[in-house]
Amino acid sequence: MGKAGGEITNSIRALRFAHDEMTQQALADQIGVSRQTVNVMEANKYSPSLEVAFRIARVFDVTLEQVFHYAER
Amino acid sequence: MTFQEKSLWVMLVGSLVGFGVYFSAVLPGHGASVLPQDVVLFAVAVAMLVAISVAGHVIIAVLDQRTDADERDRSIELAGTRNASYVLATGVFTSLCVALLIPGNFAFTHVLLAFWVLAQLVQIASQLVRYRRDA
C-alpha cells in the first residue's frame, strides 16, 4: 500500500514462518498491535509507522530492508 | 473483529435505537417550539444510548483480552472523525439558515440535533467500512 506512485510490500509472513512458525498473535503481542493489524500488514493493506516497523525488524533480528520493500511503479 | 470494531457496532446500535426512538416520538405533530415533554424524551433517548453503550462495552470487554487501540485503530478513527466533521459543518450552516427562515426553536434545534446524530453515524459507519474492507 503506497502513495506517490510507489508500493510498499513486506516479508512478515515469510519471516514468521522462518521463526518457528510464529503466530500472528505472538508477533502482535511483541510489537504492541492487534492480531488484525498484523493480518492487514501481511496483506499489504496497511503500512505501519516507523516505530512499529523497527519493532518488527527487531523481533526477527533483521534490518528494515529485509522486512519492508519499496518499489516504484 | 477487534475490540474497537465491536465497540463501534455497539455505539451504532445504541445511537440508532436511542435517537430513532426520540425522533419517531417527537417529529409527528410537533409545534413551532420545543416542549418540556420533548426535553424529557431527549433525556430518555440519551439514557437509552448510555445504557446500551455501557452494557455492550462490558460484554465485549469480558470477551476480548485486548481493549486498547493500536496505531491502525487511531488512524481509522481519525479518518472517521474527518468525515463526520464535514457533516457537522454542513449541519451547523443548515441549522443557521433554518433559524433565520422558520419561526420557533423546534426546527432549528432538531435540524442541528439531526445533523449531529448523522455526523456520529457517518463517523461510526466510515470506520466500520474501513475495518470490513481490510478484513
B32 contacts B103 by C-beta, under 8 angstroms: yes
Q: Which residue has the higher pLDDT, A28 or B68?
A: A28
Q: Is A17's pLDDT higher than 90? A: yes
Which run of H or of E encompasses A64? Answer: helix A64-67
Q: Which three cell numbers stand for residue B44?
A: 430518555
Does the pLDDT at position A26 exceed 70? yes
Predicted confidence (pLDDT) at residue A31 exceeds the cutoff of 80: yes
ipTM, 2 dp: 0.82
What is chain B written as a DSSP string?
A: --HHHHHHHHHHHHHHHHHHHHHHHHSTT--SS--HHHHHHHHHHHHHHHHHHHHHHHHHHHH-S--S--HHHHHHHHHHHHHHHHHHHHHHHHHHHHHHHSSSSHHHHHHHHHHHHHHHHHHHHHHHHHHHHH-
What nine digits make up the cell of B102? 422558520
What pLDDT, on a 0 to 100 scale, did the predictor assign at position B63? 84
Average pLDDT over residues A22-47: 93
Give the pLDDT score at B32: 83
Is A40 within 8 Å of B72 when comparing Cβ atoms? yes
The predicted structure's pLDDT at residue B123: 96
pLDDT of A2 over the 50 cut = no
Element of type H or E holding A58: helix A50-60
Q: What is the per-residue pLDDT for B62?
A: 87
- A53: nearest CA in chain B? B71
Decide if pLDDT at A4 tops 50.
Answer: yes
> Residue A72: what pLDDT?
81
Q: Which of residues 14-53 of A touch B (CB under 8 A)?
A: 32-34, 36-37, 40, 43, 45-46, 48-49, 52
| Domains in chain A: ranges and CATH | 6-72 (1.10.260.40)
Beta-carbon-side half-sphere exposure of residue B37 (alpha carbons within 13 Å): 6
For residue range A40-63, list pLDDT tens digits in order: 999 999 999 999 999 999 999 999
Average pLDDT over residues A29-50: 93
Residues of chain B with pLDDT under 50: none
A37 close to B74: Cβ distance less than 8 angstroms:
no
Average pLDDT over all residues of chain A: 90
The nearest alpha carbon in chain A to B135 belongs to: A40
Between A and B, how many CB-CB pairs are < 8 A?
Answer: 28
Of residues A1 and B126, more confidently modeled: B126
